[in-house]
Amino acid sequence: MSITTLANTMATANGSGYLQLRGVGKRFGETVVLSDLDIDIGEGEFISLIGPSGSGKTTTLRIIAGLESPTTGAVLVDGKDITALLPNERDFAMVFQHFALFPHLDVFQNVAYGLRIRGMKKAEMERQVLPMLERVGLRELATRKVGELSGGQRQRVGIARALIVKPRLLLLDEPTGSLDTKLKLAMQTELKALHKESGLTFIHVTHNQSEALALADRVYVMNDGRIEQQGSPTEVYRYPATRFVADFVGRNNLIDGTLEHGSFRSAMGTFPAGAGAAQLPGGAGTAVIRADAIHLGAAEPGAASLPVRLDALEYAGSIVTWFLRGPAGPLTADVPADDSGRLDPQIGDAYEAWWNPDDVHYLRAETRDGLKGG
C-alpha cells in the first residue's frame, strides 16, 4: 500500500462527513484571509456560511470549488484528499456572486453550455434543458438574451446552468444578493424547494443572517477568516457562543457585568440572573438579551426590570422596534405592533423595560476577551 493510499484510508476512517475542510488557511501575499478552518458537511445538507463583508466566505467557496488553492490544510470528499484536483475534476457546480453568464447568448444556450462543452447532441440537450428551464420558471424566456433579463431571472439562469450538469454539490455565492426584498423571498422559497427535490448538498454564502437562518440546516458563522461558531439556526440564534456572533446574528442587547449568587450586576442595574446562569461559575460576563425578549409596560412578578427613556421608533410590519436609553447605555426592544399601540409610545417619555431572567444567555468574559476588537 502506497503512502497516499494509506493516508486516504486513514482519512476515511476518521471522516464522518461527505465534505471536509481540515485546517484550511489562505494567504494572498502577506494578507492572511483564512486561518485554520475546520468544516464538516454531511451529504444532502443545506449549509450557510455567514459573516460580514471580507470575512472570507467567497474565498472559502472558491477553495471548495478548486478555483483557489489553500495555503495550508486540505479539502476532503468522502475522506479522500481532493485539494490538488482541478475544478472540472470535482463533482461540484458554483453559482457566482457576480453573474458569470454569457450576455450575447440566450437563456437556453447559457443553461446548455455545460452540456455542449461535454459534446452533447442538440436533441439530447433539449431533452434536458427544457425541463430544467420549466423547473426554474424560465421556459417562456428560453430564447431571450440574458442581457435583457432582470436580476432575479439571471440568477435563476445561473442556478439552472449549475444544476444541469448534475453536480453532487452546489455552491451558491450570495444567490439573492442583488435582488429586491420580494424577489429575494421568492428565490429563497425556490432554493429550499430545489434543495429538497434534488437531494443535493448545498453550500450557500450570504451576509444576510435572516436568509441563512431561514434556509440552512446548519450555519457556520465566519469572522475575519475564522469560524466563530457552527450549529443549527436555533442554536446560533438563541445561544451565540461569542460576542461577535451575539452581535451579528439576530438583534441582541449585550450588557457587560458580573455574575454572583444568582444575580447579574451591571452599570444598568442588578438583576436576577435566571436559569441561563445556573451552570456558570461567577465572575465577569456579558448578558445577551434578544430584542424580542424585552417587554415594556407592567413587569411580570420575578422579572428583571429597569427604567428607560424612548429615543426613537421604527415600524416594520407587525413589529415596532423601540430604541431605548437605560441608566448606562442603549437598549433595543422589538415589540408586537398591537402591544406597542396600546402603550401609545411618545419619544422622550419614561417607561419600564423588563424581561424574564430565564430568557438571558450569558457569555463568559474569556470568550469576550478572546476576540480582537470586541
Ligand X SMILES: Nc1ncnc2c1ncn2[C@@H]1O[C@H](COP(=O)(O)OP(=O)(O)OP(=O)(O)O)[C@@H](O)[C@H]1O
Using CB under 5 A, pick the residue from 20, 55, 58, 266 that binds Mg ion: 58
Identified binder of ligand X from the candidate list 23, 42, 54, 283, rule CB under 6 A: 54
Encoded one letter per residue, x for contact with ligand X by CB under 6 A and - for no contact, window 64-103 reads: ---------------------------------x------
State yes or no: residue 20 binds Mg ion (CB under 5 A): no
From CA 66, how far away is CA 269, in angstroms rounded? Answer: 53
8 A C-beta contact, residue 129 and residue 102: no
Q: What interhelical angle do 151-163 and 122-135 show, nearest 10?
A: 130
Give the residue among 193, 69, 64, 217 at the shortest CA–CA distance from 137. 193
List the x/- string, 32-51, binding to ligand X by CB under 6 A. Answer: -x-----------------x
Nearer to ligand X, 77 or 221 (CB): 221
Q: What's the closest the beta carbon of residue 177 comes to ligand X, in angstroms?
A: 8
Among 5, 6, 9, 28, binds ligand X (CB under 6 A): 28
Phi-psi region of 237 (alpha: psi -120 to 50; beta: other; left: phi over 0): alpha
Instruction: Show contacts with Mg ion in window 232-251 (CB under 5 A).
Output: none
Q: What is the smallest separation between the CB atom of 334 and Mg ion, expressed in angstroms?
A: 29
> Which residue's CB is nearer to ligand X, number 211 or number 359?
211
Amino acid making up residue 99: F
Closer residue to Mg ion in complex, CB, 107/171: 171
For the CB of residue 56, give the shortest distance to ligand X in the complex, in Å: 4
> How far apart are the C-alpha atoms of 364 and 350, rounded to whole Å?
32
Separation of first and last alpha carbons in the chain: 50
Cα–Cα–Cα angle for 47, 98, 316, rounded to 5 degrees: 65
Residue 374: in which H helix or E strand, if any? none
Chain residues 184-243 in contact with ligand X, contact rule CB under 6 A:
207
Minimum CB distance to ligand X, residue 146 (Å): 22
Q: Which of 22, 57, 90, 195 binds ligand X (CB under 6 A)?
A: 57
Query: Which H or E run contains 30?
Result: none
Q: Which of 35, 59, 230, 266 binds ligand X (CB under 6 A)?
A: 59
Span from 54-62, 106-114, 118-126, 251-259 in contact with Mg ion (CB under 5 A): 54-62
Task: Please choose which of Mg ion, ligand X, none residue 33 contacts, taking the beta carbon within 5 to 8 angstroms, the exact cut-off set by kind.
Answer: ligand X
3-state helix, strand, coil in the chain (%, to 5): 35, 35, 30
Long-range contacts formed by 191-199: CB under 8 A, 24+ apart: 191/159, 191/215, 192/46, 194/135, 194/136, 194/159, 194/163, 195/46, 198/163, 198/170, 199/44
Residues that bind ligand X (CB under 6 A): 28, 31, 33, 51, 53-59, 97, 207
Residues that bind Mg ion (CB under 5 A): 58
